[in-house]
Amino acid sequence: MNAHNAYRQGFSFAAVLTALLVSMLVASTARAELLIRITEGADSAIPIAVVPFAESGAMPAGDKVSSIVQADLTMSGEFRPLEPTRMLSLPSQRSEVYFRDWRMLGQRYVLVGQLTRSGERIEARYELFDVNREERILGETAGASANNVRTLAHHISDRVYEAITGDPGVFSTKLAYVTLSRTGGETLYRLQVSDLDGKRARVRLESKEPILSPAWSPDGKQLAYVSFETGKPVVFTHELASGERKKVADFPGLNSAPAWSPDGKSLLLTLSKDGNAEIYRLEIASGNLTRLTNHWAIDTEGAWDHAGRGIFFTSDRSGGPQIYYMERLGAEPRRITFGSRYNARARPDAKGEYVYYVHQRNRAFHIARINLKNGEETVITRTESDESPSVSPNGRMLIYATQQNGTSVLTVVSANGGAAYSLPAADGDVREPAWGPIVR
């Protein structure tokens, strides 16, 4: 009996313990709320409906504002605007937006707006809606002169882009590039500046001699470039508004690869005045020159890092061209590219995350980027004979020159290589693109 009681007690104790454990287990599993981690986003671009803006008053001929916005967003590679013909309705204000319709169409955002002509100005009133959250995330007005609707459109694109992605838009930025046209037996080099979409291109310099390496000043008001107009490579600065040019580096030998410092007060230059191609810093105002590299091998194509403290440059001190990083001026350079025997023309992004460069692989030249944190190298272009990468100020896009049907063209890709958008080719070759800064 006692034994039995003990057994029973023992048993009941065990049962209680078991029950306790089970309940604890159940409770812990019950407490542990399911957590689903999403670590990858959609491969495709964001669906957005840019509804043709309602218009009141005479609008200038040419592209509609909404069309330009749509093209801008498409070019970014991050958006996939809905064809207006598929839209169920064309609302121009909030009261006309039926989110269910847009959700049915799979749209994430809807941009509606109205354009009003008042005199020589066009006023735009536009609203951006998050279809799923059914919220207006942008509601603004903007205006421009009637012959600058593209400016207005790019501005709206920038605002939309920023509202959705959190990054500033770059659709109002300018591109500088060099075209090469051969008419008859003559070759003509033109330095041009255009909108990002290639529209409103204006020739800033025309020369029968090569023009190379245009570089934007941080304020977007000047360009620096190498011109062979004097028969030898000379670095000029060029005030775009006034067209005023200055010869800033005309040393014996090679004067090339200008790059503005973030503060706009100095230029990095590659000079061979001391017998070997080395990198110097030129203070524009004073003309003071400081040599930054000192090596028997070629050191060229210097570029400031995003903080303006160190420089990336190309050197063949290891036998072939590779990217080196001098974290501080005067510090020992550190090689950062090892993926192949040709890596050149480093272009760091504005966030200090990636460096883009020309990368040779299997006899082809691609644009690649390296993650500065983990050293991971990614080839981001599928084309061959790629050269002259230039990163958008927000780091999201990249423009580079490549060969297409025997001619050189410019291609814009998203920085991750997702989308490619070839600028409409001007006649002849287009080379040496330089992405202008965001001008506030």
Partner 1 sequence: MKGHKREIISTEPASLKSPVVMSLALHLLIVGIALAGWSWTSPVSEPEPRQISARLVSPEPRPSPVVDDQDQRDRDQERRQQQERERQEEEAERRRQQEQARQEAERQAQAEAQARQRQQEEQQRQQAQAREREQQQAREQEAARQRAEAEAKERERQRAEQERRQQEEAQRKAEEEKRRQEERRKQEEAERKRQEEAARQEAERRRQEAERRLREQQLEALADESDRQREAEARRQQEAAAARAREAQMLSESERYQSLIRERLSQAWYPPSSATEDMTARIQITLLPTGELVNARLVSSSGNTAFDNSALGAVRSLSRYPVPSDRNTFERYFRQFTIEFNPQRLR
Binding site for partner 1 (CB under 8 A): 4, 8, 11, 22, 29-30, 33-42, 45-46, 78, 103, 108, 130-133, 137, 163-167, 394, 396, 414, 416-418
The token pair at 48 is: 């957005």
Distance of CA 128 to CAs 47, 118, 124, 321, 428, Å? 13, 23, 13, 48, 40
What are φ and ψ of residue 297, in 5° steps?
-85, 170
Is 312 within 8 Å of 372 (Cβ atoms)?
no
162's torsion region: left (phi>0), alpha (psi -120 to 50) or beta? alpha
Q: Compute the least distance from the CB of residue 290 to partner 1, in Å.
A: 35
Is 438 within 8 Å of 172 (Cβ atoms)?
yes
The token pair at 439 is: 């001008």
Q: Tell me which residue of 221, 219, 254, 252 sits closest to 237, measured CA to CA.
A: 221
Alpha carbon distance, N-terminus to C-terminus of the chain: 93
Parallel/antiparallel/unpaired status of strands 79-81 and 46-50: parallel
Integer Cα distance of 211 and 146 in angstroms: 34
Strand partners, 365: 360
